[in-house]
């Protein structure tokens, strides 16, 4: 099983010192969870706008995400994961590729629906709350949310992301737990970690349930990779993959390649 994991930034991130510690922590965690014959290849963008808290910057960034997926993930891989809870470019990637493309946000919220009657989400920045809420509506999952403020933020400074992997119990857990407990008090039976970096850090700290409760905490990144394994295996054994009937129907490859070339995009990996 070969899974392509598309990160949403360059390997070195301006404003986040020692970002490689975060990437290494996420990569090691993910690889520790996969089946023995699964290979996960982590891909970084050559350039990025990165700021996921800005819809405009995210739109610009999605161009590079999709370019990387089209050039690199189209051959030799059984499934692809877009490594951000916002699921940037998810539907466009499904149109562009024949293999299953998994969104960290979408897959984790669907799994949450299987584990409890309702769920809530803890993201890392207030600006992201409406982004997550919009995606929940797109996925048709509004009825599975708790009624009162189902998406909340623990306001985690991005500069602390590398430290989450060197000391996750003290850096990642405390701010997340404050908001997670509020969700539980308001009726949430499952809490989804609304950040592709925070989830692995919490799991590394052994934080799998909200303290003092039996409410599971969904590490969205890990779930997305496990879903990729399942859908990749389904494609290999049953021949079932993304529907191309209408929504994800793509233009003929020569047309796509021609337009991409005219706009200066490369066709080779």
Domain ranges of the chain: 2-103+223-262, 106-221
Whole-number Å distance between alpha carbons of 222 and 263: 35
Q: How confident is the model at residue 49, as a pLDDT?
A: 87
CATH 2.60.40.290: does it fit domain 106-221? no
Q: How far apart are CA 176 and CA 137, in angstroms?
A: 24
- Answer whether 2-103+223-262 and 106-221 agree in fold: yes
pLDDT at 129: 96
The tokens describing 213, both together, are 């409760």
CA 174 – CA 68 distance, rounded (Å): 36
Task: Return d(Cα 146, Cα 188) in angstroms, integer.
Answer: 6
Taking the domain 2-103+223-262, which CATH number applies?
3.40.50.12500
Name the packing angle between helices 220-238 and 19-33 (round to 10°).
50
CA angle 10, 58, 29 (to 5 degrees): 50
Structure tokens at 44: 């970084």
Q: Tell me, what's the pLDDT at 14?
A: 78
pLDDT for 158 equals 85
Is-contact 55 131, C-beta < 8 A? yes
Q: What is the pLDDT of residue 15?
A: 77
pLDDT of 266 reads: 87
10-residue averages of pLDDT along the chain (269 residues): 94 83 91 94 90 84 95 92 96 96 98 98 96 97 96 93 93 97 98 96 96 97 98 96 95 93 88
């Amino acid at each position: 099983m070969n899974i392509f994991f598309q990160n949403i930034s360059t390997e070195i991130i301006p404003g986040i010192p020692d970002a490689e510690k975060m990437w290494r922590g996420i990569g090691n965690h993910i690889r520790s969870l996969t089946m023995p014959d699964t290979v996960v290849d982590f891909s970084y963008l050559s350039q990025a706008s990165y700021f996921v808290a800005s819809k405009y910057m995210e739109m610009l960034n999605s161009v590079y995400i999709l370019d990387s997926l089209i050039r690199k993930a189209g051959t030799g891989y059984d499934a692809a994961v877009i490594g951000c809870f916002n699921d940037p470019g998810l539907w466009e990637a499904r149109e562009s590729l024949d293999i299953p493309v998994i969104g960290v946000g979408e897959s984790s919220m669907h799994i949450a629906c299987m584990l409890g009657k309702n769920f809530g989400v803890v993201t890392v920045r207030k600006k992201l709350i409406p982004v997550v809420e919009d995606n929940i509506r797109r996925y048709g999952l509004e009825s599975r949310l708790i009624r009162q403020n189902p998406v909340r933020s623990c306001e985690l400074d991005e500069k602390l992301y590398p430290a989450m992997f060197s000391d996750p119990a003290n850096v990642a857990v405390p701010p997340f737990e404050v908001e997670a407990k509020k969700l539980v008090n308001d009726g949430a039976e499952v809490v989804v970690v609304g950040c592709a970096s925070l989830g692995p850090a919490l799991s590394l700290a052994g934080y799998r349930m909200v303290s003092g409760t039996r409410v599971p905490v969904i590490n969205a990144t890990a779930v997305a990779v496990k879903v990729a394994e399942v859908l990749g295996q389904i494609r290999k054994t049953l021949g079932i993959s993304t529907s191309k009937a209408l929504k994800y129907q793509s233009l003929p490859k020569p047309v796509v390649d021609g337009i991409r070339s005219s706009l200066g995009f490369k066709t080779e990996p």
